[in-house]
Amino acid sequence: MNSKKPMGQRVKEFVIDYKRQWEIQSMVIPGIIFMIIFCFIPIYGLTIAFKSYTVIDTLDSAPWVGLDNFRIILSDKYFWDAVVNTLGISFLKLAIGFVIPIILSVMIYELSGGRFKKIVQTISYLPHFLSWIVLGGMLIAWFSSSGMFNEILLNLGIISKPVNILLDANKYWWIATLSDIWKEAGWGTILYLAIMSKIDPTYYEAAKIDGASRMRQIWNITLPNMKPIISLNLILTVSGLLGSNLDQTLVLMNSQNRAKAEVINSYVYRMGMTQGDFSYATAVGLGVSIVSVILLISANKVSSKLNDNQSVL
Amino acid sequence: MNRTVAKEDLDSRIFNTINIILLCICTVIIVVPLWNVVISSLSSGKALAEGGFIFWSTDFSLENYRAVFNDETIGLAFLVSIAKTFIGVITHVFFCAMIGYGLSKKYIRGRKLYVAMGVITMFFSGGMIPTYLLIKSLGLLNSFWVYIIPALFSYYDVVILMNFFRNVPDSLEESAKIDGAGDWRIFLKIFIPLSMPAMATIALFNGVGQWNDFMTTKLYITDQALYPLQMKLYEIIVQSQTQSMQNIGGSAIIETTTKGVQLATIVITTLPIVVMYPILQRYFISGMMMGAVKE
């Protein structure tokens, strides 16, 4: 710690301290070993994005090819299709899926409490605990020609003949977005509700005396108090734009909707795991992570400008 | 004065009514599809093929569940799911608690480096392929331990536990040290019992994650004997999808049988979570808060 002491003495002190602390150090060491093996070795493994790796190679014996893999990616039509789908679905999820939990949490917050509030909360959290495989299976059942959706639409007279919209590629983006919102919107309210419960109630009392309507109170008290947590959530959502849900795609994608369903992650999975093109798939993955980090940093910059130069991260 | 009160009352009443109506609609949107799945899973193949019901089946039958329970591989998948969840949760929580305890001591040498390493793991990862190559070279492909070992550690959980351990009064540790107890003894006999709420939260989140996890199997397991329920369900879904593609307009019987089995498997796969849900709910709200408040 003390930088004025000579190097040798500092090392010596460190060793003595370390030996004295061996018992507590022995608790941390397994974690360090874990991180080195399972986190840092794969980060080193990213170098195969710059190599031509085949099954017979090891990580070190594969020849370097520089940026060749990236050059191929840029001229790959299927990659760009996946990019378009990822961005399309992510922006729909961002535009709708980001706002709904905020509205929902305000609505729940405005309930006067009691049984109904509890029931609404319990039910709205539940879908979060279903896996995408389970939900995918449910969606397939709901959309099937004898399933619930067709039944409702037939009864309402919207359609005259059952259709399976999961086979309609043009509707896939909406299916992906809306099913994601159905699953996660309620869960998204928890954090907002927790922050809202900390808003000083005297604000509302003062507003009431001034004759502010309920909508006005929400607009001028609740939402401004939520601004920091909303921006934090927005930053995290923006940085995850390119990594949209792999499980969801794998279970909902079929031969009919593939053109609109393939996202970058499922493309990486298909190129790497099914076709064995490890270098190519790693290069795609690396490119996505770099763009994600750039998005994270720029979103943080923008939001700190909007929040009076206070960085949220 | 009276008039403003009345006006405010009216405004509030309209607001409350609209609010409750909208929230009722939201609840219905969530409950009805789930209810429909349960009712459909309890329907005969004939009723499923004809459709025509939303809330109540036209022909109840347990044939779908009988078909599921007659399939031994699903029983085995259930056991794999339980085993990996149970072992996974216990080892994960203990491993994270141990590291979190070590790092909660400000005086520990090398703390800054360890914390920096941990933070890096939260933001950067090698991604799918380098991780696959690592798992392969460790010989974990097609091994039950691939469910347990790579899932041992999460720095996020370490931070939560570390913050929890910090709130335990120092005097407890000091008095134990005077009595001659070592760090391990203090950790096991004092800190673990005191941290049960935090550890239960992490255990429940991790348990749901393990139960629902499907990518680990999809990436690293080809041996059917090691398939958990989620993977089994995925296979049934894929199978029924291809069948219904081939059978467009063709035999509806096969399609509805696999649909019935699929629905029954969905219900069975979800049942443990629904049963645990009341316990879960008590913990996860405080857990979300613990996760949100970081140093």
Structural domains of chain A, ranges and CATH numbers in brackets: 65-305 (1.10.3720.10)
Q: What is the mean pLDDT of residues A153-172?
A: 83
pLDDT digits (tens, 9 = 90+) for B190-233: 899 988 888 988 998 899 999 999 999 999 999 999 999 999 99
Task: Report how far residue A32's alpha carbon sits from residue A26's, in angstroms, rounded to the nearest whole number.
Answer: 10
User: Helix (H, G, I), strand (E, B), or coil: what is residue B60?
Assistant: strand
Looking at B105-228, list the stretches that DSSP marks H as alpha helix, in order from N- to C-terminal side: 111-123, 128-137, 155-166, 170-178, 183-186, 192-194, 196-212, 215-220
Residue A74 has pLDDT above 70, yes or no: yes
- If one compares A244 and A168, the residue with the highest pLDDT of the two is A168
Which of A25, A46, A147 is nearest residue B130 as measured by Cβ atoms? A46
pLDDT of residue A298: 86
**Chain B, 27-46: which have a CB under 8 Å from a chain A CB?**
27, 29-34, 36-37, 40
Token pair belonging to B19: 């609010």
Which residues share a beta bridge with A51? A64
How far CA B40 is from CA of A129, A140, A149, A270, B46, in Å, comes to: 21, 13, 13, 34, 11
B4 and A211 within 8 Å at the Cβ level: the answer is: yes
Per-residue HEC secondary structure of A243-299 comes to: CCCHHHHHHHCCCCCHHHHCCHHHHHHHHHHHCCCHHHHHHHHHHHHHHHHHHHHHH
pLDDT digits (tens, 9 = 90+) for B115-132: 999 999 988 888 899 999
Residue A19 has pLDDT above 60, yes or no: yes
Non-local CB neighbours of A95 within 8 Å, separated by 6+ positions: none
Q: Which of A52-66, A88-102, B94-108 has the lowest mean pLDDT?
A: A52-66
Q: What is the mean pLDDT of residues A98-113?
A: 91
Q: What is the mean pLDDT of residues A210-237?
A: 87
Non-local CB neighbours of A21 within 8 Å, separated by 6+ positions: B107, B108, B109
Residue A186 has pLDDT above 80, yes or no: yes
pLDDT of residue A39: 93
Which of A18, A43, A285 is nearest residue B129 as measured by Cβ atoms? A285
Residue B295 has pLDDT above 50, yes or no: no
pLDDT of residue B293: 47
B130 and A119 within 8 Å at the Cβ level: the answer is: no
Other Cβ atoms less than 10 A from the Cβ of B273: the count is 18
B281 and A125 within 8 Å at the Cβ level: the answer is: yes
Query: Testing the interface with A: which of B38, B129, B283 to mutate, by most A Cβ within 10 A?
Result: B129
For helices B229-246 and A132-143, what crossing angle results, to 10°? 30
Q: What is the mean pLDDT of residues A70-97?
A: 90
pLDDT of residue B223: 92
Residues of A within 8 A of B12 (CB-CB) are 214
Q: B123 near B254, Cβ under 8 Å?
A: no
Residues of B within 8 A of A181 (CB-CB) are none
Residue B294 has pLDDT above 50, yes or no: no
Percentage, residues of chain A above pLDDT 90: 29
Which of B15, B109, B288 is nearest residue A191 as measured by Cβ atoms? B288
How close A244 gets to chain B, by Cα (Å)? Answer: 14
B108 and A25 within 8 Å at the Cβ level: the answer is: yes
Q: What is the mean pLDDT of residues A154-182?
A: 86
pLDDT digits (tens, 9 = 90+) for A294-304: 888 888 888 77
Written as one letter, the residue type at B261 is V
Residues of A within 8 A of B22 (CB-CB) are 107
Residues of A within 8 A of B270 (CB-CB) are 130, 134
Q: B261 near B68, Cβ under 8 Å?
A: yes
Cβ-count burial A19-28 (b if 16+ within 10 Å, e if not): eebeebbebb
Per-residue HEC secondary structure of A27-72 comes to: HHHHHHHHHHHHHHHHHHHHHHHHECCCCCCCCCCCCECCCHHHHH
pLDDT digits (tens, 9 = 90+) for B26-60: 999 999 999 988 988 888 777 777 777 778 877 78
Residue A176 has pLDDT above 50, yes or no: yes
A138 and B266 within 8 Å at the Cβ level: the answer is: yes
Q: Which residue of A has its CA nearest to B13?
A: A214
pLDDT of residue B125: 84
Residues of B within 8 A of A137 (CB-CB) are 233, 236-237, 262-263, 265-266
- Using the Cβ of B26 and the Cβ atoms of chain A, whether some distance falls under 8 Å is answered with yes
Q: What is the mean pLDDT of residues A159-186?
A: 88
ipTM of the complex: 0.87
Q: A196 near A225, Cβ under 8 Å?
A: yes
Give burial (CB, 10 Å; 0-12/13-18/19+) of B178.
exposed
B152 and A34 within 8 Å at the Cβ level: the answer is: yes
How close A88 gets to chain B, by Cα (Å)? Answer: 23
Q: B263 near B105, Cβ under 8 Å?
A: no
A28 and B263 within 8 Å at the Cβ level: the answer is: no
Q: B56 near A151, Cβ under 8 Å?
A: no
Q: Kind and range of the H or E element at A163?
A: none
Find the distance separating the first CA and the last CA of chain A, reported in whole Å.
Answer: 28
Residues of B within 8 A of A32 (CB-CB) are 114, 117
pLDDT band at B247 (very low <50, low <70, confident <90, very high): low
* Placement of tokens 């348990």 in the chain: B207
Which residues share a beta bridge with B43? B60
Task: Report how far residue A21's alpha carbon sits from residue A24's, in angstroms, rounded to the nearest whole number.
Answer: 6
- Using the Cβ of B198 and the Cβ atoms of chain A, whether some distance falls under 8 Å is answered with no
- If one compares B156 and B280, the residue with the highest pLDDT of the two is B156
The per-residue pLDDT of chain A, averaged, comes to: 86
How close A120 gets to chain B, by Cα (Å)? Answer: 6
